[in-house]
Chain A
């Protein structure tokens, strides 16, 4: 992977000095994705499934092709690939529709402290409303979900297993290949939060055999405002929509109505058309780059950074063994929000806070952390500069009395 050359594909990286280490929050947008969305707005900026004139036909065709491209990307069928506003709204749809309609007070939902708020809060609500019990997989000493520990909480009462594929704070990968068959032995369904996996993992939903899976466009070189809910066809066929209105129905009567088939019954209203077409372009770009090559590149950068960081006095790394480009760390005695301003002055974009994952921050017993996340467009020079600035920051805060 030639990261130097790749930087040229991202307008924000060529227009200003910026070392972008916050891809885990949102990836940058490549020129070709922007161009594809511009093309929609300049050449055929009209609604889909409605008009019978030429440019509407073109819009519908592109939008339909976009869904197929994304479905192929995760080895799903067209009908199993639902457009949503993002991972959060996909995860909410699963919990609200599947959870509220299928769980009772005798059931258990397995979750973890590594979950993003978008995967824990929807199931917390389901638990409150149905009386089902939320059960947390105990994390091991590194903060990982292990198959071993999963077995300890799996029971005949388990109805739902809702776990992240890759943690957005620790960068750990959950052993879903082992966990999913175990869950299925108990007839539980498995909901996978793949928001941090889609940017650099080849996801094969058939092989993984998950029941539901969700991810967001803006973390994988695509636009904001769009995400994907994957569900197995037989589950989606039975699942009730949670939003009702235009486009999602076949027949409307005074006192009832008939829904379209999946995926359309879950997509009321005018969809994010430019975003869908833009996301498909991002997927093509990712496939050309090769997710595996991206991940290897990231890991090499992360490894180099971690090795330097752990040698530094006054710096704590919380996840030295992560298997992605994510580093959670702190300058000792310096609140991450103070630290992040220093990096900002040096044109390094980092994240500071609890990263919408308060449970793992509590587990770490810190008020918040800094997070650097490396991606395809970061270079070895970015790592060198980052390490230099970490040292400078540490020395600066010491000098002013922290």
Chain B
């Protein structure tokens, strides 16, 4: 049970119960990406607003398990204020951490470090990465059309 206790740490439960930056905004300042995991029903939409190379805002909405929903909130909190380059690096680092690949220890994932425990639950990797993958797609759109 220790492993599960670790997984459902305070940070995760806090973001699950009190999600930050939740709710989508209908504006062309945002790029939007929606991902659905049909097998478990996780369904998340992530938006980002980028201006002058800086992530100005991140929004999210959807439904799913605690790992999925909380990680969208943690993601938004971490990304707002980052430049595109570091936002991409943080995303890579997070995904590497979850998939048990080498990580760059110098990058500070802040609250997102709480998801380290997910690697002990390979069946939950999808839950922990879905919002981040959606965010990554919005970043890609920003760099594809240069804002």
Contact = CB atoms under 8 A, between A and B. Distances in A.
B63 A402 contact: no
A400 B8 contact: yes
A336 B123 CA distance: 13
Interface centre among B13, B40, B68, B121 (most CB of A within 10 A): B40
B66 A352 contact: no
A345 B13 contact: no
A344 B123 contact: yes
Interface string B103-146: 00000000000000000010110010000000000000000000
B64 A345 contact: no
Given A335-B65, A367-B63, A400-B13, A341 B123 contact: yes
B4 interface: yes
A367 B67 CA distance: 15
Nearest to A342: B4
A368 B5 contact: no
B42 interface: yes
B3 interface: yes
A261 B68 CA distance: 53
Contacts of A353: 39-41
Contacts of B63: 367
Nearest to A335: B65
Given A335-B66, A338-B67, A402-B66, A368 B13 contact: no
B124 to A, nearest CB: 6
Interface in B1-53: 1, 3-5, 7-8, 13, 17, 38-42
Contact of B40 (A337, A396, A401): A337
Contact of A401 (B13, B39, B42, B121): B13
A354 interface: yes
A335 B64 contact: yes
A368 B4 contact: no
Nearest to A337: B65
A402 B14 CA distance: 10
A367 B1 contact: no
B123 A401 contact: no
A324 to B, nearest CB: 23
Interface string A348-369: 0000111000000100000110
Contacts of A402: 13, 66
Nearest to B126: A337
Nearest to A340: B123
A30 to B, nearest CB: 26
Contacts of A367: 41, 63-64
B17 A341 contact: no
A337 B127 contact: yes
Nearest to B17: A401
A357 to B, nearest CB: 12
B66 A396 contact: no
Given A345-B3, A352-B40, A400-B13, A337 B8 contact: no
Contacts of B121: 341, 344
A55 to B, nearest CB: 41
22 contacts: A335-B64, A335-B65, A335-B66, A336-B65, A337-B40, A337-B42, A337-B65, A337-B67, A337-B124, A337-B127, A338-B66, A338-B67, A340-B123, A341-B121, A341-B123, A341-B124, A344-B123, A345-B1, A345-B4, A367-B41, A396-B1, A401-B17
Interface of B: 1, 3-5, 7-8, 13, 17, 38-42, 63-68, 121, 123-124, 127
Of all A-B residue pairs in the complex, the 8 with the closest CB atoms, nearest first, are A337-B65, A335-B65, A368-B41, A400-B8, A401-B13, A338-B65, A337-B40, A353-B40
Given A337-B41, A400-B8, 17 more contacts: A337-B127, A338-B8, A338-B66, A340-B123, A341-B4, A341-B121, A344-B123, A345-B3, A353-B40, A353-B41, A354-B41, A367-B63, A368-B41, A396-B4, A400-B5, A400-B13, A401-B13
